[in-house]
Structure 1
Amino acid sequence: MAEALVSHSLEQLALVCKTQTEEQVQLVVYHVDKDIKKITNNLQTIKPVLHDAEKKQVTNEAIESWLERLKGASYDMEDVLDEWNTALMKLQIEGKVENAPHMVRSFIKFPCSCCYPFNVRWDIVKKLKVLRGILDGIVNERESYNLETIGQVSNSFRDKVVLEGQKSRICLMDDSLVFGREKEMYDLVRILLSKDRRDKAPHVTSLVGVGGIGKTTLAQCAFKDERVKAHFGNNRIWISVSDTFDEVKVAKAIIEGLNEDDVSPKGQDRLKPFMLALKNSVSGSRVLVTTRDKSVADVFGSVPTIHVSPLSEEHCWLMFREIAFAERNEHQRKELLQIGKEIVVRCKGLPLAAKILGGLIRFKTRKEEWQQILDNKIWELADAAGTELFPHLFLSYYNFPSEIRACFAYCSIFPKNYVMEKDTLIKLWMAQGYLGLGPYGEMVSRGEECFLTLAVSSFFQDFEMHHDGSIRSCKMHDEVHDFAQFLTKNECVTMEVIHGSELKTEATLSSSRNMNARHLTITIFSSGDGFLPEADTVFNFKATKSRTLLALLMSEKGRSTIDCGPPKLANLFLKFPCLRTLDLRGVLVLGIPSQVEKLIHLRYLDLSAQGNLTELPEALCSLCNLQTLKLNNCYNLKQLPKAIGKLINLMHLHMGTQHSILMPISIGRLICLRTLDQYTVSSIVLGENEGCSLKELENLNELQGQLTIRRLGDVRDLREAKIVQLKKKRLNGLHLSFDGNGGNEKQMFNDALLLNGLEPHPYIEALTITDYHGTRLAPNWMTPRLVLTKLKKLYLASCKNLESLPTLGTWPSLQELSIYSITKVKKVGVEFLGLNVEGNMRKLESPSLVLFPYLEKLHFQNMDDWEEWDDAGLIRWEDVNVILPRLSELEISNCPKLKGLPWYLWGSPIKQLNIVNCPILKEACQKEGEDWPKICFIPSVKIN
């Protein structure tokens, strides 16, 4: 961590000096030129020994203390440099930079007329001089520790991971991959499926073993076993809880991970209500508990208890080999075989250790590198660290470059079993400066590389994937989480707030740690009732230099009742002026006070799920470093502050799409913006500020992901559609909502013209059109010959005047098509497929053309007047085989007049057909009905 902090401080020093030189704004450099040079020299001198110091601190308290002081000074240095850079940015925002040389002279002559820059300048000068003195002492002290000059760890490991990922998607270790557990698996499944009529209470079986032994993996395998699934059906519940658990969740079914304190007499009292609930559950129920502590199993009366033992050396080798020897040639396998087996002995039968070492050594190609792992002195740390797994983790951790080490250590701010969203994690790393400085794209790429490296190294697990195969989220193994907390024991403080209970802070927390901590996390467990302490009590930390404050609501149900009204938030903002990350989802925010402007370092602000929040203060717009602002599910927030254009570094503005938020005209100045969930066109005046028009989107060329544009019906100048240039190449999803006023003839005409001008780029993947008032949906860019070639999902909804569906069958990539509430369409003809009409004959435009070639899901809903789905006139039965060749799911609901289905469905590989509230179609699809031959081949037909 220290190495990363020093590197970032050097980057900041270089940047701020460069900025002042280019802009000719000598706010500080003139007065502290010698101090800046000395600080830079000190940091450059100390950086090469930091890697060795971080290794030795585990067993040397003096070095640990020295590093803590260095990190403290580095944090303070970052704050001062950031304050300096922020002052420069504010001058730029206010448009004063052009007159900067004259302005600086004015400060000296007339300080009262330019008080703010004058004060900031001398504050920074004083702070830098103090920090220079502190760093001088730290650098001089390093000589007494005999630290080796190693230099920065090579990025070769990360580079190999990234290169491998570019060749083909990295194959992450399968969490369900199990070696040598056949007997335990057989016994466990047999117990779960056993029948004992004499005992009405459910059997409780416990898996007991040390951390990293594979208890959870074994339990997951049993949970997913086909025999268990067939026996219990959908009545299977999987729950993960941390050492501090929410009683409401635990009472449902499963308890995992209770530590020794939880089974003290007081802990046993807490478990009794759960046992009573279990005894009253349905006969035949089974409960499977995983725990490190046998006393937990004793409390539950587990019969039997399965003790999960270490793997044999042979099975541990098989797991290690699966990872470490992947994609190696025969020569490499023979050369590395013996060293590999010696390394496996170090795993001591722990599957997690085998995964971690395998992930570490996977990209090391030379025999010497493997030998260095085997001979590393870090194996001597097992006793010092207090756990057998920590040496394996240390080896892998110190193999990472400094920025990856910092990114991993920061993950200790989350509680155990927390689902970490990859995109959010990268934004948090960026907010702390761990991804360096530079263009946004480069920082995101570094974040992706860090995440991927930690993933393939088994520091992350339990991955959830997006539909395209990329990682959406992950968790950390409990042992890995413990390791992260071990690394940050002097920097991270966690407090647990449980309804009806006193505050619980980490047992080892001392007042000095509390005062010097840099990252604070409050986890709130609330079921919606019961006493919760006051906000002033909850935020009663002494760590006034904290850079992170997370208030996380952990309960699945209920909401926080910790009242954070404006006065209390004002105190919080004044108390923690160094915050870079602030997440207030776990408390009740009633309003944001103007004191928020004091958080000049803030990069990440999450105010999501604040239903009482009705407005944001203009003072928020002074946070010129803000990168991410989250306002999801703030249902009563009506508009954004008019000066939001001052947030020149804002890259992500999350507002959700559930309700409209009006925007000021200054939104168009946020040219760094990447994420904008919704954009609402306004035809009204927002107080003193004119509402934004469509053209404000013109310069937001960095937008990516999904964008919803609301109230297109309120566009007053139709020429804006051409000006706005929706062909933004980074957008992959677009929702065009015409929910303006009226549906008269003029509106119908305007909507058609507007849609024609709102042409997206041809590679967009998802398109939604709602509340369109035109009678035809036929913009130039939706014609068969100018098709959106990469479009995978199309949703058409609430287009009340639409009389026919557009031709969609020739779209080459379409996979999902949903048509909702198109109430005036009476007939879906073969033109929908893309067939030509010649008299009474219909034919394919080309004999080789396949219609809807990739469509898998087709949904029709609320089609009030739809009567006919026409296939008449197909001239050859061969045509049937080239229509919807991949359709697997067809759903038709609330189409009361639909009479039948087309014959061409007979040739589609449909697996699921759902017909809901379609009385005429229902009769036709009965076994004796006219359409039964068209659907009799479908495996699952549900008609309601």
Structure 2
Amino acid sequence: MAEEILVGGVEEIVKRLISLGIDEIGLLRGVKEEVEKLQTIFTHIQLVLQDADKRQVGDERVKLWLQKLKEAAYDAEDILAEFAFDGLRRQVLAKTKVLNFFSCFASLPLKFKTAHSIQNITKRLKDIDEKKDSFRFNIDNTAENVIPNVDAARETSSLVNESDVFGRESDKVKMVDMLISDLGSSSAGATTTATTLSIVTILGLGGLGKTTLAQLVFNDATVKEHFGSMMIWVCVSEDFAVKTIWFKILKEIDSSCTQSESLSKQELQKKLEKELGGKKFLVVLDDCWQKDLDKWEDLILPLKVYGAAGSKVVVTTREDIVASTIGSSYTHDLQLLSDDQCLRLFESKAFVQGETKNSNLVKIGEEIVKKCRGVPLAVKVLGGLMRSKRTEQEWLGIRDGEFWELGGDVQKQVIEILKLSYNNLPPKVRQCFSYCSVFPKDYEIQKNEVIRLWMAQGYLQISKEGELMEDIGEEFIRMLCTISFFQIAPEKETSEGTELIYKMHDLVHDVARHLSRFECKDLVDDKDDIINENIRHLSLISSNKTLEIPNGINEVKKLRSFSLYGDSYDRLKVTTSLPKLLQLRFLRVLNLSKLPLKELPSSIGGLKLLKYLDLSWSEIERLPSTISNLYNLQTFNLSNCDKLSELPKSVVTFTQLRHFYAYRHIMNCESPRGLNELTFLQTLDILKLCVESASEHIAELEHLNYLKGTLRLQNLGYVNDVEAVKKANFMGKKNLHKLDMDWESSTHGDNVSDRVKLLEALQPHFNLKDLTIHKFQGLELPGWMTNDFALPNLVKLQLKNCNKCEEIRSLGQLSSLKELVIEIMDSLRRIGEDPHNHQVVESTTTKTRRSSEASAILYPRLEKLSVFFVPNLEEWFENSANIFPKLQELELCHCPKLRSMPNHFPSLKRLTIEKVNYIDTITENITSLTSLSLKGSSSSSSSENEEEEMARMLGKNELIESLTMRGLSLMRYFPDFSGLQFLHTLDISHCEALETCPHFSSSLKKLDIRYCPALKIEVTRFPCVEWLEIWEIKALVVDDTPLFSNKLSFFSIVCVPEFVQLSVDFLRNNVHLRTIIIHGCPQFRGFLSSNEEQIGSPPPPPPPPPPPPPSASSSSSSSSSSLSSSWCVECLRLENCPSILRLQLQGFTQLRDLAVFVRTGLQSLEGLQSLQNIQSLTIGQYS
């Protein structure tokens, strides 16, 4: 099967041509006859395709026959698609009343041209049909592969992402023990001295389960507890660009981090310092191939310098040379699975859970498993394949297949097994899978993206009424997951909300590339610019180089897809080569995402068959008017085109449009009109209403009931017609899950009741999960927002900038609500019930009702509550004591008048309070906190009261792990922290009166103190700190005793006027110390040796007779010994410390980064020659 033709795609094209509705495309009488002949020939040929597919392996003549058939079928489809476009064009123009007498005649030349082209293809197909008889093919009367029954497998499809792993228990235990140990280990197993960063490698051949083992360890509860939130997963693959990997690490820590090519390595390192500094972390670098030592050292350096002791990096690789190159402290050589382990894995895939297993099939399965030779991927793929086969004959056919006879090449055998699974897919799914070779390796395939690409190629054909192409695509994805061709990856947030992500194993991707090599081509870093003229799908992929569109692109005349995957382009070359690309009239897919292009040539309007156009993240400023000629367009992506000045005025010609993205494109651009014509539209991520006709504009949504995912409505403030809003029929849009309403620029008067009526009319379908309301100007919210019958599935609710709203009725009845955000509500005074409106005299019925209400659980699933910048909020009252049972995180910020709110928080873990004066009543019952942040929150009039409040709160929450105190301006002394045995992070800033620090428990790992000008600190009070950062305090004293239990790794002192010196003993005792930063300390003289020698400071005034000046080579033996010691510091920065005149560097042999800036200049600098590892050296002088 080494050189087979991809028959699946041919078979599907043949079926599409056979089922073509001739009358629908308006062919001339003579042309109709030719098409009917064409269909007849294809019907005959279709019957022998299955046998031809089998026989092409050993018969070159059959292979050549299939190749000719494939080309003829593709050409026929292209020609008829062009003619169908002309029919669609006339329909659209007739609707828009543009069609006239002359335009009817304009299509005649095309009809005659089509007739001539079809005659030529018919002639070619007659020759092909006659040739088939000489092969004596067996006829398949079914003409259709049986689609595997995936219904039984569907319930376990979520487990395909390695959740049912067998035989890796001991591997996992070893890896977990290695990661949570503070000691490193050599590859030989010998224990070594603890280091700041250890590298652990998982080594094994492809398909053995390296990534699976890494995932198991990464998600282990013990590992999560050990590393906390600092767990980072980066897929490296063949793209080993150091800056890119650094950015991926930053992105994992902070999802809001945005990549910029302009960022230098120094800038990225500073960002890494900020995020990783002093923290113990775990970084997994998955699928590494890089063997260059210099690149590895470059990558790992900031992780070593900034990480706390015990940090780990896990690397998965197939190459043992990678493990030796990076200096792994431990290499885990992953072994093959045993036959018993493989059998358990196989049976979990081959049999439905709970079914009675056929004993004969089990026995055959045992024999099949033995032939897999312990490779999990092969076992899993074959198991998924066998699930759709239920006869002994089928199982025996797999057991006795020729593909097993491949000698000792396990990798080759796995690939052949994958091909076997491919051949058992129905043809319509085969062509979808092979098309995925256009993606780069390790590409994160978004579910919606791949389905829309398949749709654009015509792979998703509807066979029954009411069916959607998108649903068919999801079914195909399930099939590919069932046989492990697609692996489920972590979900991602996109403009459509949370979206499923899939990945293809490298070997699976190799199979897709092999099978589609005559149709698909990818150019990686321009390594190969030779493109066969018959290629149908082309991708340009960049790992680290500037991409260019090939000059000869216009010669690939049959191209159907062109996609760019990269971030760097040559603007000039792109501008000159793009017009050539737009000459390719059969293009269905054009992906120009991130292209640095300011405008598109008008010739894009000539791409009659274009169905998928992606211009996202490009620099496009305007669209040509001819864009409206793309009548076939199904997917149009303009998201994040922030330089785009306007959208098409109307989209009435886009009658086939199903997905339109324009989110974050521009600030001043209104959405196009004519939405009512887009009856297939499913995705409209943003609708910015026209200011002059907002009511009419929103009414255009009336029949768009296929809309799904996320919809952002802007300029709602300009709508003034309630009936138009009702006409939009939001209650009928059952597939909308996220709705964002922005009432910016309200101009329809001051009648607040009208505003409430408008919002009342916007009531969504009860399936809605996420609702945000911005800048609504009504005095109250409509009833449906507090009604669980109206919003039974609502998970997240955000109310922002609704500045006229004075009261929010209780939202506690919303049974699914997990997150509530109330932000910037200037007039809001009350949340919940009004306790003052209760009648003194109540009937028995009323009393019973109130008793029932009081026992009801309010906010039963709420986990996070945030109230920000609500300056007039005074009370929050709920008529129930059973409230907030699952609330874990509470944020109250800038609510100075808030006097009372429910204070029953049995599950609260994280509390942030800022500028809230009455905190005692709110926090009196809180006892379970692990994180507390107080920021200028005290109502106390004296330091004693402020200190008492702090002591009271800490005394009741002894499980606190992270504590932040900012802006407590009256507090002079800290309360006793000795009871906080779990405290590991302390952040103190802007406490102007603070004078002393208390002793801390040995659990404290990170201490950050800033802007406390009266504070004096002795570092002996912090026995186990690993990260110490101090800014702008009065004085710092560091003595000579061994400090921090030898765990300090980061030491930064900035603007401390009374900080004088560090001793050489300090350097010697802190073996993990990697970074020292001292900035703006005018009295700092340098590092003092044990016999008072100073390294980096002027000598003391010499008494008579003057002693010889101290130096690194002279002095006593004890001095020489201390200075010849080698310290572990890798980064040393001394800036604006005018008392440093001399600097000796003999002991800093591990330095990689040295920066010294002094005002007057150094008088002496010695020891530079000993810095063998230096990578960055800066010596400067302030003016």
What TM bracket, shorter-length normalisation?
Answer: 0.7 to 0.9
Q: Judging changes above 3 Å, is the alpha-carbon distance between structure 1 residues 898 and 156 closer, same or farther for their aligned structure 2 residues? A: farther
Q: Which moved more, 1:309-318 or 1:412-421?
A: 309-318
- Of 321, 337, 340, the match for 2:362: 337
Alpha carbons 1:855, 1:884 under 8 Å: kept? yes
The offset of 1:802, in angstroms, is: 0.4
* In structure 1, distance between residues paired with 2:731 and 2:214: 49
* In structure 2, distance between residues paired with 1:744 and 1:64: 75
Alpha carbons 1:819, 1:860 under 8 Å: kept? yes
Alpha carbons 1:603, 1:625 under 8 Å: kept? yes
- Of 644, 661, 664, the match for 2:672: 664
The offset of 1:865, in angstroms, is: 1.4
* In structure 1, distance between residues paired with 2:801 and 2:443: 39
The offset of 1:486, in angstroms, is: 1.1
* In structure 2, distance between residues paired with 1:597 and 1:935: 71
- Residues 29-86 of structure 1: CA deviation (Å, up to 9, x unaligned): x123342222112211222332343344455444333333322222212211111110
Residue 712 of structure 1 pairs with residue 716 of structure 2:
yes
1:494 is matched with: 522
Find the residue that maps to 2:891 and give its secondary structure.
strand
* In structure 1, distance between residues paired with 2:315 and 2:744: 52
- Of 128, 148, 153, the match for 1:138: 128
- Residues 775-808 of structure 1: CA deviation (Å, up to 9, x unaligned): 11135x4464963333333221110000000332
Residue identity matched to 2:684: L
Residue 17 of structure 1 pairs with residue 22 of structure 2:
yes
The offset of 1:341, in angstroms, is: 0.5
2:890 is matched with: 890
1:675 is matched with: 683
- Of 733, 737, 748, the match for 1:732: 737
- Residues 455-509 of structure 1: CA deviation (Å, up to 9, x unaligned): 1211111433489999711101111111111111111111123xxxxx223xxx8
Alpha carbons 1:565, 1:591 under 8 Å: kept? no
* In structure 2, distance between residues paired with 1:95 and 1:134: 37
Which blocks of at least 5 consecutive residues in structure 2 are unaligned?
1-5, 185-190, 250-282, 927-947, 966-1183
- Of 597, 606, 623, the match for 1:598: 606
- Residues 399-455 of structure 1: CA deviation (Å, up to 9, x unaligned): 111111111111111111111111211111111111114668432221111100111
- Residues 866-906 of structure 1: CA deviation (Å, up to 9, x unaligned): 122335xx6xxxx423x334434333233233234424x25
Residue 572 of structure 1 pairs with residue 581 of structure 2:
yes
* In structure 2, distance between residues paired with 1:127 and 1:464: 49
Give the TM-score taking structure 1 as reference length: 0.84
2:1178 is matched with: none
Alpha carbons 1:901, 1:934 under 8 Å: kept? no
User: Where is the helix percentage greater, Structure 1 or Structure 2?
Assistant: 1
- Of 110, 116, 121, the match for 2:106: 116
* In structure 2, distance between residues paired with 1:809 and 1:763: 18
Residue 7 of structure 1 pairs with residue 12 of structure 2:
yes
1:500 is matched with: none
Residue correspondence of structure 1 range 908-923 to structure 2 within 5 A: 908-921=906-919
Residue identity matched to 1:93: V
1:550 is matched with: 563
Alpha carbons 1:381, 1:391 under 8 Å: kept? no
* In structure 1, distance between residues paired with 2:865 and 2:841: 27
Residue 245 of structure 1 pairs with residue 240 of structure 2:
yes
- Of 505, 523, 541, the match for 1:477: 505
- Residues 898-944 of structure 1: CA deviation (Å, up to 9, x unaligned): 234424x25x5334433344354279638965997999589769675
Find the residue that maps to 2:740 and give its secondary structure.
strand
Residue correspondence of structure 1 range 425-464 to structure 2 within 5 A: 425-437=450-462, 441-464=467-490
Residue identity matched to 2:106: Y
Q: Judging changes above 3 Å, is the alpha-carbon distance between structure 1 residues 840 and 639 closer, same or farther for their aligned structure 2 residues? A: farther
- Residues 743-798 of structure 1: CA deviation (Å, up to 9, x unaligned): 9624x34322322322323443332221111111135x446496333333322111
Residue identity matched to 2:736: L
Residue correspondence of structure 1 range 271-310 to structure 2 within 5 A: 273-274=298-299, 286-302=312-328, 305-310=331-336
Residue identity matched to 1:75: Y
The offset of 1:852, in angstroms, is: 2.8
* In structure 2, distance between residues paired with 1:884 and 1:277: 43
Alpha carbons 1:492, 1:519 under 8 Å: kept? yes
- Of 693, 700, 704, the match for 1:700: 704
* In structure 2, distance between residues paired with 1:204 and 1:934: 39
The offset of 1:153, in angstroms, is: 7.9
2:538 is matched with: 520
Q: Judging changes above 3 Å, is the alpha-carbon distance between structure 1 residues 314 and 80 closer, same or farther for their aligned structure 2 residues? A: same
Alpha carbons 1:924, 1:930 under 8 Å: kept? no
* In structure 1, distance between residues paired with 2:831 and 2:720: 34
The offset of 1:326, in angstroms, is: 3.5
2:1111 is matched with: none
Alpha carbons 2:339, 2:369 under 8 Å: kept? yes
Q: Judging changes above 3 Å, is the alpha-carbon distance between structure 1 residues 113 and 751 closer, same or farther for their aligned structure 2 residues? A: closer
Query: Larger radius of gyration, structure 1 or 2?
Result: 2
* In structure 1, distance between residues paired with 2:195 and 2:172: 25
* In structure 2, distance between residues paired with 1:523 and 1:638: 29
Higher RCO structure, 1 or 2 (CA under 8 Å, sep 6+) = 1
* In structure 1, distance between residues paired with 2:92 and 2:574: 31
Q: Judging changes above 3 Å, is the alpha-carbon distance between structure 1 residues 370 and 710 closer, same or farther for their aligned structure 2 residues? A: same
* In structure 2, distance between residues paired with 1:682 and 1:865: 35
The offset of 1:553, in angstroms, is: 2.2
Residue correspondence of structure 1 range 512-661 to structure 2 within 5 A: 514-526=532-544, 532=546, 534-535=548-549, 537=551, 540=553, 542-553=555-566, 560=569, 562-563=571-572, 568-574=577-583, 576-610=584-618, 612-656=619-663, 660=667, 661=669
Q: Judging changes above 3 Å, is the alpha-carbon distance between structure 1 residues 276 and 852 closer, same or farther for their aligned structure 2 residues? A: closer
Q: Judging changes above 3 Å, is the alpha-carbon distance between structure 1 residues 547 and 382 closer, same or farther for their aligned structure 2 residues? A: farther
The offset of 1:296, in angstroms, is: 3.0
Alpha carbons 2:804, 2:827 under 8 Å: kept? yes
Alpha carbons 1:718, 1:753 under 8 Å: kept? yes
Residue identity matched to 1:293: E
2:1060 is matched with: none
Residue identity matched to 2:527: K
User: Where is the strand percentage greater, Structure 1 or Structure 2?
Assistant: 2
Alpha carbons 1:153, 1:399 under 8 Å: kept? no
1:795 is matched with: 798
Residue 813 of structure 1 pairs with residue 811 of structure 2:
no
The offset of 1:396, in angstroms, is: 1.4
The offset of 1:580, in angstroms, is: 0.8
The offset of 1:338, in angstroms, is: 0.7
Residue identity matched to 2:769: E
Q: Which moved more, 1:616-625 or 1:292-301?
A: 292-301
Residue identity matched to 2:473: G
Q: CA RMSD in A?
A: 3.8
- Residues 88-137 of structure 1: CA deviation (Å, up to 9, x unaligned): 0011111189999xx9xx9xxxxx87553022112211221121122223
Once the two structures are aligned, what percentage of the paired residues are identical? 31
Q: Judging changes above 3 Å, is the alpha-carbon distance between structure 1 residues 245 and 66 closer, same or farther for their aligned structure 2 residues? A: farther
- Of 211, 215, 218, the match for 2:213: 218
Find the residue that maps to 2:641 and give its secondary structure.
coil
Alpha carbons 1:804, 1:825 under 8 Å: kept? yes
Residue identity matched to 2:40: N
Find the residue that maps to 1:289 and give its secondary structure.
strand
Alpha carbons 2:788, 2:814 under 8 Å: kept? no
Q: Which moved more, 1:198-207 or 1:221-230?
A: 198-207
- Of 839, 843, 860, the match for 1:853: 860
